[in-house]
């Protein structure tokens, strides 16, 4: 179980982690063996825009309905298995 938790944490860290740097190292070599390296950065512009989210979006409602339905099904299966255990 511990290995699964560690692998899940590592996978989520690799997937969800943002890009560490937007720098690229450019090196040029001369004919006589010398190398000159320089770092160039790229500029990233981020814009934040508001999005209309009203009562028409049914995502939260559907999640609640799925959780409720799964709880009802799990309770029913538990009750059936408990009755069979007593009858045996």
88 belongs to a structural domain: yes
87 belongs to a structural domain: yes
If one compares 54 and 7, the residue with the highest pLDDT of the two is 7
Q: Residue 80 belongs to what domain range?
A: 59-88
68 belongs to a structural domain: yes
Q: What is the pLDDT of residues 14-29, one digit of tens each?
A: 776 655 555 677 777 7
- Tokens of residue 38, six digits: 């320089």
63 belongs to a structural domain: yes
6 belongs to a structural domain: no
If one compares 42 and 8, the residue with the highest pLDDT of the two is 8
Counting Cβ atoms within 10 Å, is residue 52 exposed (0-12), middle (13-18) or buried (19+)?
exposed
**What's the pTM?**
0.33
What sign does the CA torsion over 60, 61, 63, 67 have? positive
79 belongs to a structural domain: yes
* Residues 13/18/21/25 CA torsion (nearest 10 deg): 80
């Amino acid at each position: 179980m511990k290995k699964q938790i560690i692998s899940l944490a590592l996978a989520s860290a690799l997937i969800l982690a943002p890009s560490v740097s937007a720098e690229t190292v450019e090196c040029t070599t001369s004919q006589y063996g010398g190398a000159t390296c320089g770092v160039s950065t790229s500029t990233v512009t981020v814009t934040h825009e508001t999005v209309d989210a009203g009562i028409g979006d049914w995502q939260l409602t559907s999640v609640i309905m799925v959780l409720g339905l799964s709880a009802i099904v799990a309770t029913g299966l538990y009750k059936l298995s408990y009755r069979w255990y007593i009858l045996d």
